[in-house]
Every structure is written in structure tokens, then in C-alpha cells.
Amino acid sequence: MESTITKIRTNIKKKEKIDEPPQYKVIMHNDDVTTMDFVVAILKMVFQKSHEEAVDLMLTIHNNGSAVVGIYSYDIAISKINKTHQLARANGFPLRCTYDKA
């Protein structure tokens, strides 16, 4: 008679592989109103960037018109975009983020 442990081990080996969730790029866009300091603050607060990373990203956004500020699962990407828009509107800025499949 087969032991319970052997049956469990057999069942574990037969598990199917679980795919990773799709990832999304969060893209921050430049505008003529939002201050550079506010963009740096958002990158630090919402996207957990260091001060140096935030300044580098802000300059890339300013010079190129946009930049990828992070890659996340769908729910986290949407949450970070919504938080960014909420903080920007509360401070009178039109800062805009979008997402695209990574």
C-alpha cells in the first residue's frame, strides 16, 4: 500500500507551471506646466526612486518628452498612475502618465 507522503509528492511533481503576470511600462510625459521639483518628488514618493535616479529620469522626461519610470504588474501600474494623477491635480499640475505592455 502506497503511503500518503508518496502520493503527495507524486501530485506535487504533476503541478502545472504558473505563468508570471504580464508586465506594464509606466510612462511619464513632459508638459509645460509641471515643475521639475514636483516631478522629482513624485518619482521619489510614488515610484520609490532615489534622489539621483529621480533627477536623471526627470531630465530624460524633460529632454525627450517622456520616459519609462517603472515596469509593474497591471494593478500596481494603474495604482501608481492614479496616485500620480491625484497628487498632480491636487497641486494644480497636468502631469500625465500612461502605460503600455512591456
> Is 10 domain-assigned?
no
Residue written as grid cell 499640475: 93
Distance CA 47, CA 72 (A): 10
Residue 57 lies in a domain: yes
In the numeric block, which cell numbers belong to residue 41? 518628488
pLDDT reported for residue 16: 73
Q: pTM for this structure? A: 0.82
- Rounded mean pLDDT, 19-25: 94
Residue 14 located in a structural domain: no
The span from the CA of 18 to the CA of 14, in Å, is: 12
Residue 48 lies in a domain: yes
- Residue 38 within a domain: yes
Residue 11 lies in a domain: no
pLDDT at position 98 over 60: yes
pLDDT digits (tens, 9 = 90+) for 56-81: 999 999 999 999 999 999 999 999 99
CATH code for the domain of 88: 3.30.1390.10
Residue 42, in any domain of the structure? yes
Range of the domain at 37: 32-101
Question: Is there a contact between 13 and 5 (Cβ–Cβ < 8 Å)?
Answer: no
Residue tagged 500625465 (cell numbers): 96
As for how many domains the chain has, the answer is: 1
Residue 9 lies in a domain: no
